[in-house]
Amino acid sequence: MTPHEQLLSYFQSKTHLSPEEFSEFKDFFVLKKVKRNELLLREGEVCTFNLFVLSGLLRMYHLGPEGQEFTRYFAFENKFGTSLTSLIESKPAIENIQAVEKSEVMKISKVDFFNLVETVPAVNLVYRNMLEQAYITSQKRIYDFQEKSALERLKWLLTHQPGILNRIPSRLVASYLGITSYTLSRIKAEL
């Protein structure tokens, strides 16, 4: 499957987009190969793009005042990933976007993406779905993490992302769960 075919398949899983309709805007999405640990966006830069992950894995994270990492989101295959607040507001990002693995993404500029959101109903629907899922995931994560123990948080994550512990380094999983690597190591033994 070519990169554009994979992107079309994603759109078709969310909408009734025909290959002919897709062909009218597919070239706005450009293939980009990303090295493991490569930063695609640094805190303080304005995010001017949206990314669709074909293969590999991206993470969005923030550095605390003492250099600790707080991971907000992992974008796996067939997901969009961006610094949404920076993209929407055109203000400096408060997070970094990094490739956790060697990855291939389809990159689209902010201008082109929002033009398509305004002019192509299928892209508008996908964007709306992205916003809804981001909000729902954020709300669930906030409230679930406030009330749950570290072990319960890990179980929540494994329910929503099975196999994550085999794919992502423990320190990154710990930064997503808001716990230390030591705590993660300890509670993994309780599973």
* Mean pLDDT within 135-141: 85
- Name the region of 30 (left: φ>0; alpha: ψ -120 to 50; beta: rest): beta
pLDDT above 80 (res 40): yes
For 149, residues 6+ apart whose C-beta sits below 8 A from its C-beta are none
Angle, CA 184 vertex, CA 178 and CA 185 arms, to 5°: 160
Greater confidence, 12 or 145?
12
pLDDT above 80 (res 146): no
78-137: pLDDT as tens digits:
999 999 999 999 999 999 999 999 999 999 999 999 999 999 999 999 999 999 988 988
Say which range, 4-13, 32-41, 136-145, 156-165, has the weakest mean pLDDT: 136-145
CA distances to 22, 68, 100 from 45, rounded to whole Å, are: 31, 20, 20
